Amino acid sequence: MLTRPQIRYCLDQIAEMFPDAHCELVHRNPFELLIAVVLSAQCTDALVNKVTKHLFEKYKTPEDYIAVPLEELEQDIRSIGLYRNKAKNIQKLCALLIEQYGGQVPNDRDELMKLPGVGRKTANVVASVAFGVPAIAVDTHVERVSKRLGFCRWKDSVLEVEEALMRKIPKEEWSITHHRIIFFGRYHCKAQAPKCEVCPLLELCREGKKRMRGRNESAARAD
């Protein structure tokens, strides 16, 4: 695993590459962000934004979501994966927001996690982006990059990845680092075709060096 100075170097390089990293889910308030993050599970932000463009015109409050039959909401989000389950959870969480939180989205991660369909990652994103609470949400990009670079161990669970990053990154940088690592994973260190050959972190990256060795050996065999 990388040392703290090496991790610092990686974070600074990633910050240079993606200085404007931010949450790409389009929203106007904490409630819209919550709905968007629930919809984004196992789905791209781009597709969610396409759906919410119309969804957020039709539904503006928790009351709006529970005023329609479940089937109608399902149809409105049908192009999103797991849409039936997500529609059910959205109606349940809206009912809970009205009953227990006066229709407002709570700003506390533990309270957010009591809402149907809201796991730790979703709660971290909402707390961080909507309310400025320092948090690192571990999605597939953050997990992949952290393991490839050696910020944590290969065998670490999602929670262990989060805890490792929280230990090794200054608290005041948690939220921005979360966005930067996502951009790095989404646009550079991709799952299928990482850009190892032009990566400024190649010398520190165990996975990258292994991949480049494999490519060089393949090229040599082809010759």
Sorted by sequence, the CB contacts under 8 Å of residue 185 that are 6+ apart come out as 140, 141, 142, 144, 145, 191
Distance of alpha carbon 8 from alpha carbon 177, whole angstroms: 11
Q: Is 193 exposed, middle or buried (0-12, 13-18, 19+ CB in 10 A)?
A: exposed
The CB-side HSE value for 190 (13 A sphere, CA atoms) comes to 8
Q: In this predicted structure, what is the pLDDT of residue 46? A: 95
For the segment 80-93, the average pLDDT, to the nearest whole number, is 96
Domains in the chain and their CATH numbers? 1-223 (1.10.340.30)
Distance of alpha carbon 111 from alpha carbon 123, whole angstroms: 9
Q: What percent of the chain has pLDDT over 70?
A: 99
Which of 12, 88, 114, 121 is catalytic? The answer is: 121
Q: In this predicted structure, what is the pLDDT of residue 206? A: 87
Which of 20, 114, 139, 195 is catalytic? The answer is: 139
Distance of alpha carbon 137 from alpha carbon 118, whole angstroms: 12
- Structure token digits, residue 154: 């290969």
Between 220 and 81, residue with greater pLDDT:
81
Task: Grade residue 137 by pLDDT with cuts at 50, 70 and 90.
Answer: very high
Distance of alpha carbon 3 from alpha carbon 5, whole angstroms: 6
For the segment 26-48, the average pLDDT, to the nearest whole number, is 96
- What are the CA-CA distances from residue 73 to residues 33, 67, 85, 184 (Å)? 17, 10, 11, 34
The answer, yes or no, to whether residue 223 has pLDDT greater than 70, is no
The answer, yes or no, to whether residue 220 has pLDDT greater than 80, is no
Q: 121 catalytic, yes or no?
A: yes
pTM: 0.91
Q: 92 catalytic, yes or no?
A: no
For the segment 7-29, the average pLDDT, to the nearest whole number, is 97
Q: In this predicted structure, what is the pLDDT of residue 221? A: 74
Q: Over the chain, what is the mean pLDDT?
A: 95
Q: In this predicted structure, what is the pLDDT of residue 215? A: 80
The answer, yes or no, to whether residue 31 has pLDDT greater than 90, is yes
- Structure token digits, residue 176: 């921005």
Q: Which of 124-128, 138-142, 217-221 has the lowest mean pLDDT?
A: 217-221
